[in-house]
Structure 1
Amino acid sequence: MRAPNGCPVSDAAAAFDPFSDGYQQDPPEYVRWAREQEPVFYSPQLGYWVVTRFDDIKAIFRDNLTFSPSIALEKITPTGPEANAVLERYGFALNRTLVNEDEPAHMPRRRLLMEPFTPEHLRPHEPLVRQLAREYVDRFIDDGRADLVDQMLWEVPLTVALHFLGVPEEDMDTLRKYSIAHTVNTWGRPRPEEQVEVAHAVGNFWQFAGKVLDKMRQDPDAPGWMQYGIRKQREHPEIVTDSYLHSMMMAGIVAAHETTANATANAMKLLLQHPSAWRDICEDPALIPNAVEECLRHNGSVAAWRRLATRDVTIGGIDIPAGAKLLIVTSSANHDERHFADADLFDIRRDNASDHLTFGYGSHQCMGKNLARMEMQVFLEEFTRRLPHMRLAEQTFTYVPNTSFRGPEHLIVEWDPAQNPERRDASLRTAARAAVRIGEPSNHAITRPVVVQRIETVAQDIVRLRLVAPDGRPLPRWAPGSHIDVECGDTGLSRQYSLCGDPDDTGTLEIGVLRDPRSRGGSAWMHGQVKVGDRLHIRGPRNHFRLDEEARRLIFIAGGIGITPIMAMARRARALNIDYQLFYCGRSRGAMAFVDELAALHGDRLTLCVSSEGTRLDLPALLQKPVEGARVHACGPLRMLDALEAACAHWPEDSLRMEHFESMLGTLDPTREHAFEVELKDSGLTLPVRADQTLLAALRAANIDVQSDCEEGLCGSCEVRVISGDIDHRDMVLTRAEREAGQRMMSCCSRARGTKMVLEL
């Protein structure tokens, strides 16, 4: 058996069946073999090419000209003539919507219809979501048992969806039947005897949508997204057409509620299957926004999307012919170890959870993503406050068989009503909570508790802290060069510390902390206030100073406390049997930490350069002649790193990688800045960036998700890709070669030198 490009089809690819129970229960696990061994393959059963890795799928989303969304709503299982005749009798004519429309028609419509989805316009919907969540929980809170899907998680998102769209509330049971029928008709495999029944439901849904639209036209100034579209039709009838509104009316009802209902059911199932995570969000509601992102990543409601190749193209090294249909398994991308460390681990404090592709990416990214996030946060807040003792009942989970959208048909939970917290404190029923975060969660809210197991003085004014999980659970895996952020008690300060222990030790994290006389308070607090047994809150680990494990030779240079990340790198180089040298510089031996430990591990590969002993490191001599295949990794004070950069100026590009532990970034001074524009190529937007505004702030205001952390140009979290435009680099992250290439910038601090930039966002 051969694929359309002539390549043989493997046995695993031939057996791939997205309608099987294995795929329905756990799509990422079902295609693990592909993600690891055959990331792009042809499925004879489906007639589609299947793509499973993160980078490949994100690249497909990014290029909507080569990879057309036109088949996104096409029936994946062709129906027979009898069912088709039924649809024809109903006048069913679902046409292009925002989901499956090509350029140049798509982006003008998206721009016109986007405003109601921005955070500013979504916030007024939050009180209704809270009211509905509270009222529905009231109905079963004293029962001790509930099917969350049947009794809440389907109806509340549907009510919110109707409210947002401006649709008069109708019979929800009928709408649920219609919505499921639409899903089965488009993405499922209905048996021949089911196809006619499904067709009748879809046809009725189509006619219902048309009738509701006709009612809306009688009062176009009423609130609601559809009425907003009707008003825009007056201004731009050539862009917002009658047939377009009818199709969006039907598609919008499904898109605005079914995915949110399924996503919340998946999230509750996942959290209750991980009692420690459930306990954590019950105790600390500030974790809920990131818990939502991790639930969407680990077990979201969108398993896959579809695209059509418009030309011959290569994906993941595989030649794909023009006209090929693609099933891009986003749920598999969300479990790709190449992007998500320990990807199968469910970690509600994961620092890059919101990188998931559940909402898609680029110009076709889900417009309703922040409405869904808001609803899920409110539901989790309600459940954790009022039913923290909830648990899953014994049950078998079933799913409506289809390729793309998934959530359990039922989710039965149990609890002891006598233990309901509001029986002891009635105010909990209506307890006020802070407004939910509308948009991607801030990394500053994602903390992980750790306990100080040991504090050891390792040099003059330097201590090593050994941190463990409070409950003895393993801590996240990390790679050399990683750091954590430590919250300094009630000071409001947060400081970054490189991890200096053994990356293979999953039970502990170790950091070295220098008492800095110039400290703004962080190191003084760490030295003066922290003691064994204290509980600290950290963020991370995260890594923007990665070891090049492909290098033939490694030269490590550390100055002072800069030895901390270099320690872990040298240990890893030794384990990989890479040729390496370690140069450690300091004022005096008494001020240099870990010297005996380093000497025991690295022997004559370690060179100590001690100023008080007259053994200074001669950087120009050491780096006089570039070494083929060598990489220099360094961390230390700014003066040393500046000298190192000058000494490596004649080395090949990207030979030098440095980490700074102090920022030279000052407060933004609008009188010395100029405004500029950024065109977001993937999203089809152009945004102004004011003189008093960072690029990061402008992106967030436009509903564009960008990670950030330190916002001082030190950590690299807020990196964005630059297609064109001259960059005023102000970060301490990028190498000389990376800056000269002009393809990356840190959005928290760097700016445009000119009046416009084009970004890959």
Structure 2
Amino acid sequence: MSIDLSALPSQVNDGYAPATCPFGFSAEKAAENFDPFGTEYQLNPGEALKWARENAPIFFDEKLGYWVITRYEDVQEVFRDNVTYSPSNALEKITPLTQEAQEILKAHDFSLNRTLVNEDEPQHTARRRALGGAFDTKELAHHDVMVRKLVRERIEQFQGSGTVDLVGALLYDVPLTVAFHFLGVPEHDMELLHKYSVAHTVSTWGRPSDEEQAEIASSVGKFWQLAGDILEELRETPEAEGWMPFSIRMQKEMPEVVTDSYLHSMMMAGIVAAHETTAHSGANAVKLILETPGLWQKLGKHPELIPNAIEECLRLSGGVAAWRRITTTDTELSGVKLPKGSKLLMVSAAANRDPEVFPDPDVIDLYRDNSAQHLTFGYGSHQCLGKNLARLELQVILQELTTRFPDLTLADQEFTFVANTSFRGPNALQVEWDPAKVQTPPAEFPEMVFNGPSRELRTRKLMVKNVDDSVPGIRRLVLESAESEESADTADGNPLPSWHPGAHIEVEAGGVNRHYSLCGDDPQTWEIAVALEHNGRGGSRWIHENLVEGSTLNVRGPRNNFRADADATHLILVAGGVGITPMLAMADDAKKRGISYELHYCGKNRSTLAYLDRIERDHGPNTELHISDEGTRLNIEQFQKRHAEGVQLLACGPDRLTSSLLEQLPQWPEGSIRHETFTALNALDSSNNEEFTVEINSTGEALTVAANTTLLETLESSGHDVYADCREGLCGTCEVGVLSGDIDHRDHVLSEREKETGAKILTCVSRAKGCSKLVLNI
């Protein structure tokens, strides 16, 4: 297509300007050539849309008639706000039906209507609450035995052959059989249902030709009739096990919520949803792991790391590439005006490779701190109900395959896909191995992991390469991977993952966890500086007293809640004491990118200033020292009138420094000042707390948060898995969405703008204001 802005409605044009590269790249031309049904997109949709993510993150595809959204923040926002961005078109035919196809579907009484994926509020939440209990992790755990039995039976049929198509022999068959068991549906002809599922996918998200539409419509119509027949069969045994019999029982209690039409639609959609995406994700994961040198063997030796690998595979190559929404009102998303009725294709596969959220986005990092924050399962109240059943199946499949077939490799083959916008996985996956090297799997495997790997599984072991005590009271540590030689070439060996300036790591330091900003410019190592706090809680003292070269540390991260704006044109960097570490990293980055900057470094005397030699060497002309003993204290008034478009002030240091900056610069625009402090201040002080209540939107569950406990502790004690590391409002891992209620924000992570929106809360420290009620989007 050619984006002729003058030809589009004026409300579409406003806020959108295609980028042009001086070396000849044109986002307009790239958008014209975008083809969601083409080979490049089918093979790797995230990589195929890299140009858009970097140059035109929201663009209009005239051929498709959709706005295509590619950045993480934008895709997440659309998922979060399911009122402005309705899911009602999620199952709409992306290619209009021919008259003949319409007549065929009509002859089969086809009337697929609302399901959980395409239903608006308030009906969606009401039905999800009524029917979602079966998907709780405590209800899923017992499926482990059944899934493992199925996987082993299938493997034993081909393990002596030396070659097999894993899709046909295992990866499609097992998820479909598990789907039957979970749904409580009698097993039917696998080949027939495979044909029907492919037809449904192509009919809904594909681009079938006029000639193909008749045959596809016939299969979809028969699928609809089969779903109805199965439903009637199940009504005769309503006390049977499974989700559909449960739903039938719920209809008697809530007939206005669980209707006949809804049950019929969910029967058909459920058969597809419960197996198709899991089968695709399994094939994609095996393919990706085998393409990563040494990773297959590492997982075979360390099956406890399989949950980590699964999250990275779901992020990089999940079975779901995109979802759709439609605007219910005129709105604006990241500066792009979207009129009411705009159709949106949110490409989660592209968002999952956003380097602003996932550094080194194209690399499998087994210890990536936020890997489970991928959008493959969606986000918010429409997040996939079956995500943890899929995780269970994928864990069992990879456990059995990696331990049995240590020398498994991909055979030479050309991969083909069912061309469509949203669901992807190879039609076949031919693999090879030596039957003589097949091993017996261990008697026991690690326990199933739901909701992503725990903090223990996300912990990497690093070795202290160098210790520098040249500045009194400050210990500089250079850390490198402590991986053994046998795994040095795997995805989690050297070099360590890259990080953005402002990032920090969490270090286990003598029984406590402490956070230290990264600095340094060696990609093979990470560097931190630790100031000795004599009156602290022991972490810095342990590091100063115990660590020597060759010591090992348990580390999590990196994570980043302290970033300069990507479009900033001038940075004012203010550091106090050891707060120089993130500021130095930002100065290095600004110099590298050619952005103007100035570095203000505050301290009592020169002998206490870390990195002074390097700062004078690399940033001398841009640096101003403010040393108390020399009478050159920082004068904050100099910054009062320096705010302008593109100017950002960032500060890190003692609270007295960052608080003074905020107090004395009230005229600076919102978001133009960002700061990071050394302490959590009074975030954990419970003396003025009041009891409040929260409601879990997806289930309707009401929880009371006592005055002497945190929201995080209350959620955990009620069986909700929430990422949580620092528990002091410093790291951001325990964030959950909020749909309504007034929040008392006590963290040091969210920006003022984020706090004002009231859309998220850090559960470890923040609370409801007074005794009001919060509705959580989980």
> How high is the TM-score relative to the length of structure 1?
0.87
Which residue does the alignment assign to 2:642? 628
Indicate how the Cα distance of structure 1 residues 448 and 279 shifts in structure 2: closer, same or farther if over 3 A, else same. Answer: farther
1:69-88 to 2 correspondences below 5 Å: 69-88=87-106
1:500 to 490, 512, 519: 519
Which residue does the alignment assign to 1:539? 556
Indicate how the Cα distance of structure 1 residues 567 and 63 shifts in structure 2: closer, same or farther if over 3 A, else same. Answer: closer
Q: Give the partner amino acid of 2:693.
A: E
1:211 to 229, 238, 248: 229
Q: Give the partner amino acid of 1:626.
A: Q
**Does the aligned pair in 2 maintain the 1:557–1:566 contact within 8 Å?**
yes
**Does the aligned pair in 1 maintain the 2:683–2:729 contact within 8 Å?**
no
Q: Give the partner amino acid of 2:448.
A: V
Which residue does the alignment assign to 2:431? 413
Q: Does 1:433 align with 2:433?
A: no
Which residue does the alignment assign to 1:484? 505
2:711 to 676, 695, 701: 695
Distance in 2 between residues matched to 1:742 and 1:322, nearest whole Å: 24
Indicate how the Cα distance of structure 1 residues 753 and 555 shifts in structure 2: closer, same or farther if over 3 A, else same. Answer: same
SS in 2 for 1:455: strand
Which residue does the alignment assign to 2:149? 131
Which residue does the alignment assign to 2:166? 148
Moved more, 687-696 or 2-11: 2-11
Q: Give the partner amino acid of 1:333.
A: A
Which residue does the alignment assign to 1:457? 469
Cα distance per residue 1:94-144 (max 9 Å; x no partner): 222112223343222122111111222222222222332333333333433
Which residue does the alignment assign to 2:21? none
Which residue does the alignment assign to 2:251? 233
Indicate how the Cα distance of structure 1 residues 551 and 251 shifts in structure 2: closer, same or farther if over 3 A, else same. Answer: same
1:29-44 to 2 correspondences below 5 Å: 29-44=47-62
Cα distance per residue 1:714-741 (max 9 Å; x no partner): 2233345666544334334457887688
Which residue does the alignment assign to 1:510? 527
Pairwise CA distance, 1:157 = 1.0
Cα distance per residue 1:313-358 (max 9 Å; x no partner): 4445444444443333222222233433333333333322222222
**Does the aligned pair in 2 maintain the 1:118–1:703 contact within 8 Å?**
no
Pairwise CA distance, 1:581 = 3.9
Q: Give the partner amino acid of 2:9.
A: N
Q: Give the partner amino acid of 1:498.
A: S
Cα distance per residue 1:480-527 (max 9 Å; x no partner): 221112345xx554432211212xx32221112345445655445544
Distance in 2 between residues matched to 1:743 and 1:306, nearest whole Å: 22
Which residue does the alignment assign to 1:474? 495
Q: Give the partner amino acid of 1:690.
A: V
Pairwise CA distance, 1:165 = 0.7
Pairwise CA distance, 1:558 = 1.4
Indicate how the Cα distance of structure 1 residues 633 and 104 shifts in structure 2: closer, same or farther if over 3 A, else same. Answer: closer
Which residue does the alignment assign to 1:425? none
Pairwise CA distance, 1:267 = 1.0
**Does the aligned pair in 2 maintain the 1:303–1:331 contact within 8 Å?**
yes
Distance in 2 between residues matched to 1:740 and 1:24, nearest whole Å: 40
Indicate how the Cα distance of structure 1 residues 678 and 45 shifts in structure 2: closer, same or farther if over 3 A, else same. Answer: same
Aligned residue-pair number: 744
Q: Give the partner amino acid of 2:418.
A: V
Distance in 2 between residues matched to 1:14 and 1:650, nearest whole Å: 44
Indicate how the Cα distance of structure 1 residues 527 and 112 shifts in structure 2: closer, same or farther if over 3 A, else same. Answer: same
1:639-650 to 2 correspondences below 5 Å: none
1:547-626 to 2 correspondences below 5 Å: 547=564, 550=568, 552=570, 554-559=572-577, 561-575=578-592, 576=594, 578-586=596-604, 591-603=608-620, 614-615=629-630, 618=633, 621-623=635-637, 626=640
Pairwise CA distance, 1:68 = 2.8
Pairwise CA distance, 1:637 = 4.3
Indicate how the Cα distance of structure 1 residues 690 and 314 shifts in structure 2: closer, same or farther if over 3 A, else same. Answer: closer
**Does the aligned pair in 2 maintain the 1:304–1:404 contact within 8 Å?**
yes
Moved more, 240-249 or 288-297: 288-297
Distance in 2 between residues matched to 1:666 and 1:626, nearest whole Å: 29
Distance in 1 between residues matched to 2:667 and 2:37, nearest whole Å: 58
Indicate how the Cα distance of structure 1 residues 721 and 342 shifts in structure 2: closer, same or farther if over 3 A, else same. Answer: same
Pairwise CA distance, 1:742 = 6.4
Distance in 2 between residues matched to 1:318 and 1:602, nearest whole Å: 38
Distance in 1 between residues matched to 2:688 and 2:59, nearest whole Å: 54
Cα distance per residue 1:207-256 (max 9 Å; x no partner): 22222212211221221111111111001112111121111111101001
Distance in 1 between residues matched to 2:345 and 2:619, nearest whole Å: 50
1:5 to 6, 9, 13: 9
Q: Does 1:717 align with 2:733?
A: yes
**Does the aligned pair in 2 maintain the 1:648–1:656 contact within 8 Å?**
no
Which residue does the alignment assign to 1:254? 272
Q: Give the partner amino acid of 2:315.
A: R
Indicate how the Cα distance of structure 1 residues 333 and 642 shifts in structure 2: closer, same or farther if over 3 A, else same. Answer: closer
**Does the aligned pair in 2 maintain the 1:363–1:684 contact within 8 Å?**
no
Which residue does the alignment assign to 1:727? 743
Indicate how the Cα distance of structure 1 residues 660 and 314 shifts in structure 2: closer, same or farther if over 3 A, else same. Answer: closer
**Does the aligned pair in 1 maintain the 2:683–2:765 contact within 8 Å?**
no
Which residue does the alignment assign to 1:51? 69
1:20-419 to 2 correspondences below 5 Å: 20-419=38-437
Gaps of 5+ in 2: 19-27
Pairwise CA distance, 1:83 = 3.7
Distance in 2 between residues matched to 1:577 and 1:48, nearest whole Å: 36
**Does the aligned pair in 2 maintain the 1:573–1:580 contact within 8 Å?**
no
Pairwise CA distance, 1:572 = 3.8
Indicate how the Cα distance of structure 1 residues 337 and 687 shifts in structure 2: closer, same or farther if over 3 A, else same. Answer: farther
Pairwise CA distance, 1:642 = 5.6
Pairwise CA distance, 1:164 = 1.0
**Does the aligned pair in 2 maintain the 1:558–1:585 contact within 8 Å?**
yes
Distance in 2 between residues matched to 1:188 and 1:530, nearest whole Å: 58
**Does the aligned pair in 2 maintain the 1:632–1:657 contact within 8 Å?**
yes
> How high is the TM-score relative to the length of structure 2?
0.86
Which residue does the alignment assign to 2:25? none
Q: Does 1:678 align with 2:694?
A: yes
**Does the aligned pair in 1 maintain the 2:627–2:633 contact within 8 Å?**
no
Distance in 1 between residues matched to 2:344 and 2:752, nearest whole Å: 39
Indicate how the Cα distance of structure 1 residues 606 and 173 shifts in structure 2: closer, same or farther if over 3 A, else same. Answer: same
SS in 2 for 1:179: helix
**Does the aligned pair in 2 maintain the 1:570–1:582 contact within 8 Å?**
no
Distance in 2 between residues matched to 1:317 and 1:127, nearest whole Å: 50
Cα distance per residue 1:370-420 (max 9 Å; x no partner): 211222222222223333332222211111122211101111222233333
**Does the aligned pair in 1 maintain the 2:130–2:699 contact within 8 Å?**
no
Distance in 2 between residues matched to 1:607 and 1:446, nearest whole Å: 39
Q: Does 1:447 align with 2:459?
A: yes
Distance in 2 between residues matched to 1:364 and 1:29, nearest whole Å: 25
Q: Give the partner amino acid of 1:80.
A: T
Sequence identity, in percent?
49
**Does the aligned pair in 1 maintain the 2:367–2:457 contact within 8 Å?**
no
Pairwise CA distance, 1:154 = 0.8
**Does the aligned pair in 2 maintain the 1:654–1:737 contact within 8 Å?**
yes
Distance in 1 between residues matched to 2:742 and 2:222, nearest whole Å: 55
Gaps of 5+ in 1: 423-428
